[in-house]
């Protein structure tokens, strides 16, 4: 029975392989430049790798769908969503942190850290990101699960697709696509909730009062999820994603990857009993039929391999059923495999030049980011000098310059500030729109979590040696917290001999 199952598996595997060979021959002969897609029908597998992959999938999906509903109290008038990238408020809220548009360099730092972390993980364990946590993999896995429930496993689906349409096929396929659209819709909807308050937008969506943008982007993300996870599948990983192209630059002989132990498996012993002369591989094709990208891991590391490890589970079953030791396909390093082929063992080395470089870069980037975040000012100041007139001479001989002063108050309460220009002789500041006596310091109030814009006149005597302009520093101090900041600007005056 086992042999019958194995030969059935081989026949099925060969259908795909024969089509690939035919295409390659046609391409080599120059028959055509375009190769038709070879449809992949992955067979379901059971085992520890598959269970772990289900666990990661459930964790990732739960996180994705649940996070927008997590609440966080920030005080009156503030959004209550823990993670919110509010386009309308121009803020990114992350629990206790709030990022303004001018904090964009934190995003740059975060992207750098993400990229370096990915390099490090790839150099240690190959494409585990692709095999387990990449959204394309997670949603494709989910869609395939739905497909298997409704259309059956690999052989049944292949037979169904090869046969002409019947009522049974029509209702199953219709239900499958409806389920895919349903999942895609909730995926697109959940994505929108990262940009607008989740409970509010849910009510608005179903009562028809949400904005056009909300409906448009929900539809857009529904469509892309449905197409990429339902139709494109492994084509995204193989042809659309750039990552497989440069992942090889991060791999070395010490990287853990899914590996066929050729020294143990070859020569293949199709149909032979365990302990017979030859290798452990019975050439059943179970590893190929289980592969979501349709490749044969026995050909070595390939661009299409996403390191998911499902072929390990598939092969372990065959090994158990034929009375052979498991893990013919396993996670291992090329260095260890070469040693094992020679009867020795090479221990895994975590610290190697490339991992040291990635780890150092990651620690430095994390250190810089944490320090910058800890020292991040709660206030901001920018001062823009008037373009015209550059200065005005007053009756008492003093000069007056006009400025537009912008003060950022990142606190969730209003704040009082004092503005001074200590380097300017006889300095007196006044707000243009307010009738007040000019004084050496100007008191300004900025609303909570906002930017205050003020027209400010500065009167003073330029230093004798200046000709046309002199530097002047604007000092801003929060009267409650004592936090200070300085903005370097200029005080304009006539050039030698010129009269204003």
Measured from the CB of residue 60, what is the shortest distance to ligand SF4 in angstroms? 17
Closest C-alpha to 151, from 175, 130, 132: 175
C-alpha–C-alpha distance, residues 490 and 485, integer Å: 17
Residues 6+ apart with CB under 8 A from 457: 400, 401, 402, 403, 429, 430, 431, 432, 438
Residues 6+ apart with CB under 8 A from 244: 127, 130, 237, 238, 303, 304
Burial grade of 24 (CB within 10 A; 0-12, 13-18, 19 or more): exposed
Measured from the CB of residue 316, what is the shortest distance to ligand SF4 in angstroms? 8
For strands 392-393 and 329-332, give the pairing.
Answer: unpaired
Q: At what angle do helices 135-151 and 167-192 cross, to 10 degrees?
A: 150
C-alpha–C-alpha distance, residues 322 and 2, integer Å: 8
251 binds ligand SF4 (CB under 6 A): no
Closest C-alpha to 483, from 404, 375, 352: 375
Measured from the CB of residue 53, what is the shortest distance to ligand SF4 in angstroms? 10
Subset of 315-334 contacting ligand SF4 (CB under 6 A) = 315, 318, 328-329
Closest C-alpha to 446, from 484, 416, 482, 418: 416
Measured from the CB of residue 18, what is the shortest distance to ligand SF4 in angstroms? 16
Match 């250190």 to its residue by tokens: 367
Measured from the CB of residue 306, what is the shortest distance to ligand SF4 in angstroms? 5
Say how many residues make up the chain.
500
Binding residues for ligand SF4, rule CB under 6 A, total: 29
Q: Which string of x and - marks every residue 274-313 that binds ligand SF4 (by CB under 6 A)?
A: -------xxxxxxx--xxxx-x-xx------xxxxxxx--
Q: Which is nearer to ligand SF4, 218 or 269 (CB)?
A: 269
Measured from the CB of residue 187, what is the shortest distance to ligand SF4 in angstroms? 23
Measured from the CB of residue 239, what is the shortest distance to ligand SF4 in angstroms? 15
Name residue 461's beta-bridge partners.
Answer: 425
Region of 97 on the Ramachandran plot (φ > 0 left; ψ -120 to 50 alpha; else beta): beta
Q: How many CB atoms lie within 10 A of CB 38?
A: 14
**Angle, alpha carbons 295-154-125 (nearest 5°):** 40
Measured from the CB of residue 65, what is the shortest distance to ligand SF4 in angstroms? 26
C-alpha–C-alpha distance, residues 25 and 324, integer Å: 36
Q: Of 258, 381, 405, 456, which lies in the binding site for ligand SF4, with binding defined by CB under 6 A?
A: 258
C-alpha–C-alpha distance, residues 469 and 304, integer Å: 65
Q: Which is nearer to ligand SF4, 116 or 295 (CB)?
A: 295
Q: How many CB atoms lie within 10 A of CB 60?
A: 19
Q: Which is nearer to ligand SF4, 129 or 403 (CB)?
A: 129
Q: Which is nearer to ligand SF4, 289 or 493 (CB)?
A: 289
Q: Which string of x and - marks every residue 376-415 that binds ligand SF4 (by CB under 6 A)?
A: ----------------------------------------
Compute the radius of gyration of the chain from its Cα atoms: 33
Measured from the CB of residue 283, what is the shortest distance to ligand SF4 in angstroms? 5
Q: Which is nearer to ligand SF4, 10 or 81 (CB)?
A: 10
Q: Which is nearer to ligand SF4, 260 or 487 (CB)?
A: 260
Measured from the CB of residue 369, what is the shortest distance to ligand SF4 in angstroms? 34
Q: Of 183, 190, 314, 334, which lies in the binding site for ligand SF4, with binding defined by CB under 6 A?
A: 314
C-alpha–C-alpha distance, residues 494 and 499, integer Å: 6
Subset of 92-111 contacting ligand SF4 (CB under 6 A) = none
Q: How many CB atoms lie within 10 A of CB 140?
A: 22
Q: Which is nearer to ligand SF4, 142 or 315 (CB)?
A: 315
C-alpha–C-alpha distance, residues 176 and 173, integer Å: 5
Q: Which is nearer to ligand SF4, 57 or 190 (CB)?
A: 57
Q: Which is nearer to ligand SF4, 13 or 476 (CB)?
A: 13
Three-state SS at 407: strand
DSSP 227: I
Measured from the CB of residue 143, what is the shortest distance to ligand SF4 in angstroms? 17
Q: Which is nearer to ligand SF4, 116 or 144 (CB)?
A: 144
Measured from the CB of residue 110, what is the shortest distance to ligand SF4 in angstroms? 29
Q: Which is nearer to ligand SF4, 93 or 260 (CB)?
A: 260
Q: Which is nearer to ligand SF4, 134 or 297 (CB)?
A: 297
Give the distance, in angstroms, between the CA of residue 175 and the centroid of all CA atoms in the same chain.
Answer: 32
Q: Which string of x and - marks every residue 204-243 that binds ligand SF4 (by CB under 6 A)?
A: ----------------------------------------
**Residues engaged in binding ligand SF4 (CB under 6 A):** 258, 260, 265, 281-287, 290-293, 295, 297-298, 305-311, 314-315, 318, 328-329
């Amino acid at each position: 029975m086992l042999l019958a199952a194995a030969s059935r598996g081989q026949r099925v595997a060969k259908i795909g392989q024969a089509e690939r060979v035919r295409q390659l021959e046609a391409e080599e002969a120059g028959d055509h430049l375009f190769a038709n897609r070879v449809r992949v029908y992955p067979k379901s597998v059971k085992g520890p790798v598959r269970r772990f992959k289900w666990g990661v999938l459930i964790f990732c999906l739960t996180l994705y769908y649940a996070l927008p509903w997590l609440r966080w109290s920030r005080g009156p008038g503030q959004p209550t969503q823990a993670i919110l990238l509010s386009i309308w408020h121009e803020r990114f809220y992350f629990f206790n942190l709030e990022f303004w548009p001018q904090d964009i360099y934190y995003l740059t730092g975060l992207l750098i850290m993400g990229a370096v972390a990915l390099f490090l993980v790839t150099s240690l364990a190959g494409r585990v990101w692709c095999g387990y946590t990449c959204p394309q993999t997670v949603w494709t896995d989910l869609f395939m699960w739905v497909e298997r429930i409704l259309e059956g496993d690999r052989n049944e689906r292949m037979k169904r697709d090869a046969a002409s349409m019947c009522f049974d096929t029509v209702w199953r396929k219709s239900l499958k696509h409806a389920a895919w659209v349903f999942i895609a819709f909730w995926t697109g909807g959940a994505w929108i909730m990262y940009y607008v308050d989740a409970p509010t937008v849910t009510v608005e969506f179903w009562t028809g009062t949400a904005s056009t943008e909300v409906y448009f982007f929900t539809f857009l993300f529904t469509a892309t999820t449905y197409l990429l996870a339902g139709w494109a599948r492994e084509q995204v990983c193989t042809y659309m994603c750039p990552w497989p192209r440069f992942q090889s630059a991060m791999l070395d002989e010490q990287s853990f990857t899914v590996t066929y132990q050729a020294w143990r498996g070859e020569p293949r012993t199709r149909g032979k009993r365990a302990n017979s002369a030859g290798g452990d591989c019975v050439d059943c094709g179970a590893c190929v039929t289980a592969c979501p990208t349709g490749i044969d891991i026995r050909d070595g590391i390939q661009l299409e391999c996403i390191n998911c490890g499902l072929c390990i589970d598939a092969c372990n079953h065959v090994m158990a059923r034929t009375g052979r030791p498991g893990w013919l396909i396993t996670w291992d390093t090329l260095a260890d495999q070469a040693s094992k082929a020679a009867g020795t063992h090479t221990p895994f080395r975590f610290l190697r030049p490339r991992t040291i470089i990635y780890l150092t870069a990651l620690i430095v980037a994390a250190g810089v980011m944490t320090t910058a975040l800890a020292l991040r000012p709660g206030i901001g100041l920018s001062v823009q000098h008037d373009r015209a007139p550059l200065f005005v001479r007053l009756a008492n001989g003093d000069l007056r310059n006009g400025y537009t002063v912008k003060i950022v108050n990142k606190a969730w309460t209003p704040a009082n500030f004092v503005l001074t220009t200590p380097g300017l002789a006889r300095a007196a500041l006044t707000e243009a729109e307010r009738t007040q006596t000019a004084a050496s310091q100007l008191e300004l109030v900025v609303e909570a979590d906002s930017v205050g814009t003020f027209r400010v006149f500065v009167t003073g005597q330029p230093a004798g040696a200046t000709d046309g302009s002199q530097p002047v520093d604007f000092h801003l101090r929060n009267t409650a917290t004592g936090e200070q900041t300085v903005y370097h600007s200029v005080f304009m005056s006539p050039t030698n001999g010129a009269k204003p």
